[in-house]
Structures are given as C-alpha cells and as structure tokens.
Amino acid sequence: MELSPTGHVILGLLSLGPKSGYEIKAFVDRTVRFFWAASYGQIYPELRRLADAGLIEGEARPAGGRRRTVYELTAEGRRRLREWLAVDPAVFEMRDEGLLKLFFADSTGGASAIETLAAKRRHHLEIVEVLRAIEPLAASKAERFPLVVCRFGIECNQWMADWCQRMADELSASEKAEPRRRTA
Amino acid sequence: MELSPTGHVILGLLSLGPKSGYEIKAFVDRTVRFFWAASYGQIYPELRRLADAGLIEGEARPAGGRRRTVYELTAEGRRRLREWLAVDPAVFEMRDEGLLKLFFADSTGGASAIETLAAKRRHHLEIVEVLRAIEPLAASKAERFPLVVCRFGIECNQWMADWCQRMADELSASEKAEPRRRTA
DNA sequence: ATTCTCATGTAATTGGTTACATGATTGC
DNA sequence: GCAATCATGTAACCAATTACATGAGAAT
C-alpha cells in the first residue's frame, strides 16, 4: 500500500513514543506544522488506514474514565518509516501570498509594496517567536534532529524577515533618490 | 464575489498585458510557480468565472487560423486587483518533505540525515539555476517588482542550500568527534 | 453551573493536480 | 510524414481544511 506523506508523519511521530490521535494533533501543532500541517480530518482516518495495514497498533487506554486509543508502531511500521527516510525527499512547495502581492506591486506604482513587505516581515518574526519558545524544549530531548529542524525554522524565518527589512529600506531609499514617475 | 488567490494571480498577470489561457500558464511556469503554481484545470475555469464576474474580457484573436481567446482586465478588474494588493497577505504555507525526513532522522540513528540534506541542497540549487536563467529577462522589463521577487527566490534558495551544506558539515564533524552510540 | 480541555470522529467543501480528449499549425 | 508546440477544455481524483457533532472529566 502506498502511503501519503501525512501517513509517514504519523509513523514518524509514533517512533518518538506511543500517542493518541489527539496527542498527535497537539504534537504536530507544536512542532512540524510550519512545514507540514495536519488536521483531525486527516489524522483519524489515516490512523484507521495505518492500523488496517498493520503498520501501527491501537490499544484502548482510557485516561481516568475518558475513552482513549493509544497507537504505537509495529515492527513493520518501523521498517516502513526507515524505508521512507532512505528515499530522497520529493515534495517542496511554497504558497506565499506576500511574494505574489510583491510581484504585482508595479500595478500600484509600488505603493502597496512597503506595507506588503512589512506584513510579511511581521509574519516571519511571529514564527521566529513561536519557534524560539519551543527551542529549549527541543533541546532537552534525547533526539537531536528535532532541534536541528527547529533551528532551521528560526534562522530561515529570521533571514526572510531581514530580507523584507532590507527591501523596504532599499525601496524607500530609491523613492527618495528618484520619486516615482509613473503610477501605472 | 469572493476571489480565490489564483483568481488574483490571473488578474495580476493580465495587468502586465493581455494574454490567452495558454500564455498565462506558460507565464506562471516561468515566473511565480515557485511560490504559487497553477494548472490548466484551474486557469480555464477561473477565466470563465472572472469573465462572468466582469473583471476580465475575452476577445477571439485567432493566431494564424488557430482559435485563441485573449483576455484583458476591465476597469473593475483593475480595481479589484489594487484592492487585493492593499490587503495584508495572509497565506504562507510550506510543505517540505526534506525537513520532515530530517526531523525524524533519529530513528535511523542519524544515518539518513546526510543524504536527505544532500538531496534538499541539490533541489534548492536547481531552483537557483532556473531563477538565475530568468533573472536577465526580469531585469529587462519595465516592471521592477518581478525582478525583486526573482532575486528573493535566488537568495533564499541559496541560503537554504548553504544551510544544508553547513548542517551536513557539522554532522559529519560531530560524527568523527563522538561516533554514534545508539542506532535506536 | 459553566467553561476548558481531552477525545474521537464525520461531512461538506475547497483548492488543486493529473490525465485525458481534441485539434490545428509549424518546423524538421 | 512526424514531432513539437499552440490552444482549450473536462473528468477523475487527491489532499487537506473547516465546521460540525458528540460527550466526558477537570477546573473554577
């Protein structure tokens, strides 16, 4: 059976320890959501599929009266995870509305660009904040790579924020040097 | 009528001059596809919707016998484009399978990380190549912002490629210093 | 009492890709 | 004659989000 990337994410998360669907969602939101988000609408059906395929195993473990199913990897699931990790990554997609608006900013004579850059900058700085907050947590774990990836997120978003600043500066500088001629 | 981001992309592209659906697709593939892709399956139906909404106007302009419809912005379409450009960008999404695999690399004892980083690096360098090739074209145009965005793409992907290199170096250095103890 | 968090799940919808179908024109 | 390119479009499918439904226990 072919597995979706989100299926692999679940296998990966379960390799860090057994979890319920709810915990998987919470974990994703705290960690990989910046480069791979997942919603309940994906997670629960996917857990069912993975269990049917024998890659994970669910066990009823009610926490104080609340019904609750905790899943963990089977040997086959662990094998499939490693198999996936050994293959070169293929998917790399970005959807950045800010760059899009910047691309078309000539149709406002450049007037919209300053605010677009400022908004994009704020957005990246917000992400930096969030990642900085979870960095110590990642650093405290036995696993080393979550921390590596967390730091990538911090540095990369900081770089993008700085680029926005730089561009905004250059723009207002050239604006002063040669005031806008056309508004077309 | 609410417009999808892809609808706005089409308005934006038409602000740079009248185009057929086919030309729009080709243009997207040469320019914005790295942060906002679009396929025929979206473009043609969207052209229909935009025309129905009075934001663009199609004119039959067969090129040497081939049937062909060229669209251009209406005044209302131009207004809607500017309206959209004035709003802060909201969408910023990444789906990066490489980071995902890196995140889970502890389950191969780190062994998979080197190759994942190398593959990710190659991918970013490929994008840099493509963008460098179209940079002179962007520079030759009257519009300034497509060039700005093109350079963002070059610098950003170069940064990511360099990060991959840096990480791979650090990894093999620490590997030599203290050879891997666990393979869990 | 009420709200918050834990917990599981489904249905409807969105946004998008891929593959296919069709056909004319151009260049080799 | 054949392949490549120009050109338009649809149908099937996929991944994923949002909103909704349900309900229990914990905290205030």
Q: What's the pTM value of the predicted model, to 2 decimals? A: 0.93
Sequence-distant (6+) residues with CB within 8 A of B62 are B68
* b/e per residue B107-119 (b: at least 16 CB within 10 A): bbebebbebbbeb
Helix (H) or strand (E) holding A46: helix A40-52
Could you tell me how many CB contacts below 8 A there are between chain A and chain B? 191
- Strand C and B41 CB separated by under 7 Å: yes
Which residues 131-160 in chain A have a CB closer than 7 A to strand C?
none
* CA distances, A22 to each of A25, A38, A41 (Å): 5, 12, 12
Q: What angle do helix axes A145-177 and A111-140 make, rounded to 10 degrees? A: 160
CA nearest to A157 within chain B: B156
| A36, A9 Cβ separation under 8 angstroms | yes
Percent of chain B surpassing pLDDT 90 = 90
- Token readout for A17 is 């320890």
- Token readout for B1 is 């009528």
Is B126 touching A (CB cutoff 8 A)?
Answer: no
Is B121 touching A (CB cutoff 8 A)?
Answer: no
**Residue B51: what pLDDT?**
97
- Token readout for B114 is 């080197």
CA separation for the pair A53, B3 (Å, rounded): 41
* CA distances, A87 to each of A15, B20, B112 (Å): 18, 40, 9
**Residue A132: what pLDDT?**
96
Chain B from 11 to 70: CB within 8 A of any A CB: 12, 15, 31-32, 34-37
Instruction: Quickly state the pLDDT bin for B174 (edges 50, 70, 90).
Output: confident
Nearest protein residue by Cα to C1' of nucleotide D14: A4
DSSP string for residues in B146-184: HHHHHHHHHHHHHHHHHHHHHHHHHHHHHHHHS------
Q: For an interface test with A, which of B10, B145, B160 has the most A Cβ atoms less than 10 Å from its Cβ?
A: B145
DSSP string for residues in B73-136: E-HHHHHHHHHHHHSPP--EEEEEHHHHHHHTGGGGTTTTHHHHHHHHHHHHHHHHHHHHHHHH
Average pLDDT along chain A: 94
Nucleotide of closest approach to B37 (CA, C1'): C16
Q: For an interface test with A, which of B31, B101, B121, B124 has the most A Cβ atoms less than 10 Å from its Cβ?
A: B101
Measured CA A132 to C1' C5 distance, in angstroms: 25
On the question of pLDDT at A125 being above 80, the answer is yes
* Bases of chain D within 7 A of a CB of the protein: 6-12, 14-20, 23-26
User: pLDDT, tens digit, for every residue of B137-154?
Assistant: 999 999 999 999 999 999
Q: Do B107 and A35 touch (CB under 8 A)?
A: no
Angle value at C-alpha B150, between A117 and B146, nearest 5 degrees = 70
Cα dihedral across residues B180, A56, A4, A135: positive or negative: negative
Instruction: Quickly state the pLDDT bin for A180 (edges 50, 70, 90).
Output: low
Q: Do B110 and A155 touch (CB under 8 A)?
A: no
Percent of chain A surpassing pLDDT 90 = 90
- Strand D and B40 CB separated by under 7 Å: yes
User: How far is B86 from chain A, CA to nearest CA, in Å?
Assistant: 6
User: pLDDT, tens digit, for every residue of A21-68?
Assistant: 999 999 999 999 999 999 999 999 999 999 999 999 999 998 877 899
Cα dihedral across residues A114, B23, B80, B3: positive or negative: negative
Per residue, what are the HEC states of B37-62? CCCHHHHHHHHHHHHHCCCEEEEECC
CA separation for the pair B172, B167 (Å, rounded): 9
**Residue A66: what pLDDT?**
87
